[in-house]
Structure 1
Amino acid sequence: MTDTQQGLREALKVVAVALKSGEAPFALAGSYGLWARGGPEPEHDVDFMVAEEDASRAQGLLADAGLHVVQPPEDWLFKVYVDDAMVDVIYRARSRPIDRSRFDDVDQIEVESVLMPVLSATELMADRLNAMEEHACDFGRVLPVARAVREQVDWALVAEESKENPFATAFLFLLRQLGVVAAP
């Protein structure tokens, strides 16, 4: 494990514990959500999701916990820093507000000794594929993740949720060709 990964794991725990102290639903998302479900460990940042209606309260909880909270120019997230590790708290995805219902089907998973809600592998993979675009479509990074969590994913639902994204469609074709997932 690298120093960066150690810092991200610590940030993940600190932010999760602070968010748990509030009443608003949240969930571990992104690459670390996939890591919690058996995927490879990332080295960039940690992502949590909150409902847009709870974003201000979550921001306040984290600031009250003594964490460094920053509102970047983007209007869909805020950032939290734990030492040098960055945590994104996302409240809008694909230009749509995140609703509390997004957290209805989370699983409580122990991550680094902290029990926390984690989005389903299906939602995480759909989010990952829908984030692919012309400047961010590295299939080589996503393939090991898809292989690691494949049994946990409803691939038909992922295909349906990402059918408007040609990069996602191409990636799903690749997964079928490689035998990672079955053809529909």
Structure 2
Amino acid sequence: MNKDERRQLREALRIAGAALDQADVPFALAGGYAAWVHGAPESDHDVDFAILEQDVDRAKEALAATTLDVEQPVENWLFKAYNAEALVDVIFRVAGEAVTPELLARAERVDVLGVSMPVLGSTDVVASKLLVLTEHRCDFSNLLPVVRALREQVDWPQVAARTAENPYAQAFLFLLGRLGIVGADPAVPSLGSHEAEPPDPRRGGIPVIEAE
């Protein structure tokens, strides 16, 4: 991504966040840029915002009143807004489940690129990223830098419980254990048949998940 593309993406974030906030639409910055706020590498793909399904029309109206171009794709879980080529996804369902008021209530207001806005916490960001893993969308290489950066901020037992029905998410959690990214915790479900490994000093001495 070149400097102009990065500038357009950041500007899209600022415009959309400010517009939703001024319109009093409940929302939160989500996805890669929420992870970036918490210390992960900056996204080079798009900006994600989470809203309630009941607020879709108001959110569209708020963004359409800005310089962003609003579009409704065929997918029935989001709509899109563009700042030139920079994409904003406004999401109201994640992995088939509706965004809830409780999810948005857990977001914390943060200054992001000069605009105050609610941002999802690290646990919710990671859980949402794992929930959308499927047979056709299962690139762990994009997730690893994110979880390495956020690992100490994440409630891993909660992530494991929330993603228990997704075998691709569970496989990723097992991989995190084998890599020493996730520490041993009896509240985390057993994710495999391997014996626990000792702490690796190259990884800060963090042990892997203990498995039965």
Judge conservation of contact 1:5–1:43 (CA < 8 Å) in 2: yes
Structure 2: how far apart are the matches of 1:8 and 1:95? 27
Question: SS state of the match for residue 173, structure 1?
Answer: helix
**Matching residue of 1:82:** 83
Specify every segment of 5 or more residues in structure 1 that has no aligned partner in the other structure, as ranges: none
Deviations 1:48-70 (A, max 9, x none): 01101111101011112242100
CA RMSD of aligned residues (A): 1.2
Q: Distance in 2 between matches of 1:39 and 1:59?
A: 29
Any unmatched runs of 5+ in structure 2?
186-212
Q: Partners of 1:96 and 1:116 in 2: how far apart?
A: 23
1:1-32 Cα distance to aligned partner (Å, 9 max, x none): 73322221111011111111112210000111
- TM-score normalised over the length of structure 2: 0.83
For residue 136 of structure 1, give the secondary structure of its aligned residue in structure 2: coil
Count residues with an aligned counterpart: 184
* C-alpha separation in 1, matches of 2:86 and 2:110: 22
C-alpha distance after superposition, 1:114-167 (max 9, x if no partner): 111101100100000111111111111111110101111000000000011111
Residue equivalent to 1:24: 25
Query: Matches of residues 156-171 of structure 1 in structure 2 within 5 Å?
Result: 156-171=157-172
Instruction: Describe the SS at the equivalent of 1:108.
Output: strand
1:131 equivalent in alignment to 2:132 = yes
Which structure has the greater CA radius of gyration? 2
Aligned to 2:195: none
Query: Which residue of the partner structure matches residue 174 of structure 1?
Result: 175
1:180 shift after superposition: 0.9
Q: Is the 8 A contact 2:109 2:117 kept in 1?
A: yes
Write out aligned runs for 1:67-146 (5 A).
67-146=68-147
Kept in 2, the 8 Å contact 1:69–1:78? The answer is yes
TM-score (ref. length: structure 1):
0.95
Contact 1:5–1:42 at 8 Å: present in 2 too?
Answer: no
Q: Using the TM superposition, give the Cα deviation of residue 110 of structure 1 relative to its aligned residue in structure 2, in angstroms.
A: 1.5
Cα pair 1:79 1:86 within 8 Å, conserved? yes
Percent identity, please. 47
Q: Which residue of 1 aligns with 2:194?
A: none
> 1:172: how far off?
0.7
Deviation at 1:100, TM superposition (A): 2.3
- Give the CA deviation at 1:38: 0.6
CA distance in 2, matches of 1:6, 1:57: 27
Going from structure 1 to structure 2, the CA distance change for 1:141 and 1:66 (only over 3 Å counts) comes to closer
C-alpha distance in structure 2 between counterparts of 1:66 and 1:136, whole Å = 32
